[in-house]
Amino acid sequence: MVEGEGMDDGKVISSNSVEETIAIGSMLGELLEPGDVIELTGELGAGKTHLAKGVAAALGVLSPITSPTFNIIYEYHEGRMPLYHFDLYRLDAESDLDDIAYWELLEDGGASLIEWGDKFPDSLPEDYLLLDLSADTDETRHICVEGVGERGRTLAEGLLANAAASGMEAHA
């Protein structure tokens, strides 16, 4: 997909603590349906794993959530739907996605969190939610929310509405 094609104008949610970042993930997890894909981008330490913890909790995952950097994928099957947490950072080529059953898992009826998906932009589906996390201070994180495609935009609108209803700062 051409960068920017089918995307909405990104809005930013500010989180002032680890707990707020986890809460934002939980708000997102409540919105997820089978087949939803979330791309998580941001530097190391930006809060991607904390956000994933909130998503997993909202889905009913009881297992501890850690970054899949060295395992490339973690699968969780104990929630209301499967959760697939990918970290593509260590992959060298898009063809490596075949080795981890990437395509099959995206179509398996679960929700997928994809860290470092921007390494292989052609591997992202037509509809997904992009969350770009950045650290401002030790505690403050900014989460740029952009929906790609119809379902991505629906998720973005829902997440932004939930964050605003919780009193979190959201701005363009």
Per-residue pLDDT of the chain (172 residues), as tens digits, is: 223 334 455 799 999 999 999 999 999 999 999 999 999 999 888 889 999 999 999 999 999 998 877 789 999 999 999 999 999 989 999 999 999 999 999 999 999 999 999 999 999 999 999 999 999 877 889 999 999 999 999 999 999 999 999 988 777 6
Please report the pLDDT score of residue 172 as a whole number.
Answer: 64
**Burial class of residue 1 in the structure, from the number of CB atoms within 10 Å of its CB (0-12 exposed, 13-18 middle, 19+ buried):** middle
pLDDT for 137? 78
Residue 30: strand, helix, or coil: helix
User: What does the pLDDT read at residue 153?
Assistant: 97
Distance of CA 13 to the CA centre of its chain: 14
Q: Starting at the edge strand that comes first in sequence, how are the strands of the sheet with 73-76 ordered? A: 73-76, 83-87, 111-115, 37-41, 128-135, 141-148, 11-15, 170-171
Q: CB under 8 Å to 135, separation ≥6 — which residues?
A: 42, 43, 45, 46, 47, 141
What is the structure's pLDDT at 169? 78
Encoding tokens for residue 34? Answer: 């089978």
Report yes or no: 16 and 140 within 8 Å, Cβ to Cβ. yes
pTM score, two decimals? 0.90
pLDDT at site 9: 59
Predicted pLDDT at 56: 97
* CATH class assigned to 11-171: alpha beta
Give the residue from 122, 118, 129, 117 showing the smallest Cα distance to 154: 129
Query: Quick one: pLDDT at residue 69?
Result: 75
- For residue 77 the two structure tokens come to 């099957």
